[in-house]
Amino acid sequence: MKTALHPEIMADSQDSTRKAGSSQVPADDLQNKAEQLSQAQQVEYRFHSPQLPLAVYQEVAAHLRQINGVNTGLLPQTSKEFDYLQSQVGGVWIRYSAAAADICQPQIEAILTYYGDRYGQWETLSR
């Protein structure tokens, strides 16, 4: 999954390329380096609640997005068989800057605890 580049990282990379002068770095190489730098500074978690309805997953994601610096999205369901008692969603991913962990983590935990208490505990998914 591609991650969005942070404008300040991209701007710094472009400035250093322009200052080098002698040869231009291909845009793909520049983008790959910026993505690697951006990903190295990110914290990501993936959680799943087996019976959590789609609408509640969407609500959880909306609440998490209200935290400054937090990006989130829904994971697709990977089960080959449909089951009315299982969630239509595979889980939720949460990503934020490692530098903002002290601010983001308590708010994320509060939101996940709120929904976990009402709909069932969260399970951590591997990447």
DSSP 44: E
- Rounded to an integer, what distance in angstroms lies between the CA atom of residue 122 and that of residue 127? 15
Helix (DSSP H) and strand (DSSP E) numbers for the chain: 4, 4
Helix, coil or strand: residue 77: coil
Average pLDDT over residues 91-102: 93
Q: How many CB atoms lie within 10 A of CB 95?
A: 20
pTM value is 0.66
Q: How confident is the model at residue 55 (pLDDT cuts 50, 70, 90)?
A: very high
Q: How confident is the model at residue 20 (pLDDT cuts 50, 70, 90)?
A: very low
Average pLDDT over residues 25-44: 62
